[in-house]
Amino acid sequence: MSHSGWQVHKFGGSSLADAECFRRVADILLCDAAERQAAVVSAMGGMTDALLRLVATAEKAPDEIGAGLEAIAARYRGTVAELLGEGDEATAVLEPFEHDLRDATDVLHAVSLVRAAADRSRDLVAGFGELWSARLLGAFLQHESTARDDGRPATWLDARQVIVVRHGEMGPAVLWDRSRENARREFPSDRTGIVVVTGFIASDPEGLHTTLGRNGSDFSASILAALLEALLGE
């Protein structure tokens, strides 16, 4: 999809299952000569399910939380090492990841105390996967762009800074005016390069974390394309 000079791509979890998959996605984006590309990404394949299993574990068998988190962390750290090595680039990705792990641990501990997860807690834990994949792909794209002397900057964007939804009986409804205002700020007319955008997650009207539901990354890509198209008409 191409809107307001932006090409909008969507890559699901199977496209980001491991380091080799990340390399293929980076090749697709860097081999495209477009000056403006937005790539909406899901969590790494199986990551959302693993995170949701941790929530269920916290409700029923909290002693197993640590092992579950460590399995997730080992997978992610290993993928980062394969793509970025162990230098400053990897550190810049892993530092926020470790912070997220601590936050996830706190949420899961709170769930374990009451043995029941509120929807907001479940959404918060499930949404970490998209943050992790977007950060890593953005960093790897910048690494590859520099190595190839491509010249285009590569960054990542938290969709919670753009997409605002209100949940109702029919599911999440996009608050288009607020979302367009956010998109105008995040995608100014002079912005170029490749922007990796988190799928699945959004903000509610109070600015709190929420999600678009399972398979919500496809919805995210459609919303972003519509917002960028709206900017074209301004």
Q: What is the CATH number of the domain that holds 219?
A: 3.40.1160.10
Asked if the model's pLDDT at residue 193 lies above 50, the reply is: yes
Number of structural domains the chain divides into:
1
Assess contact for 130 and 12: CB atoms under 8 A.
no
Provide the β-strand partners of residue 154.
194
Give the domain extent around 209.
Answer: 2-232
pLDDT of residue 4: 53
CA–CA distance, 72 with 194 (Å, rounded to integer): 27
Q: H helices then E strands: how many in the chain?
A: 8, 9
Question: Which of 36-45, 46-55, 212-221 shows the lowest mean pLDDT across its residues?
Answer: 212-221
The token duo for 183 is: 């998109």
* Average pLDDT over all residues of the chain: 95
CA–CA distance, 175 with 107 (Å, rounded to integer): 28
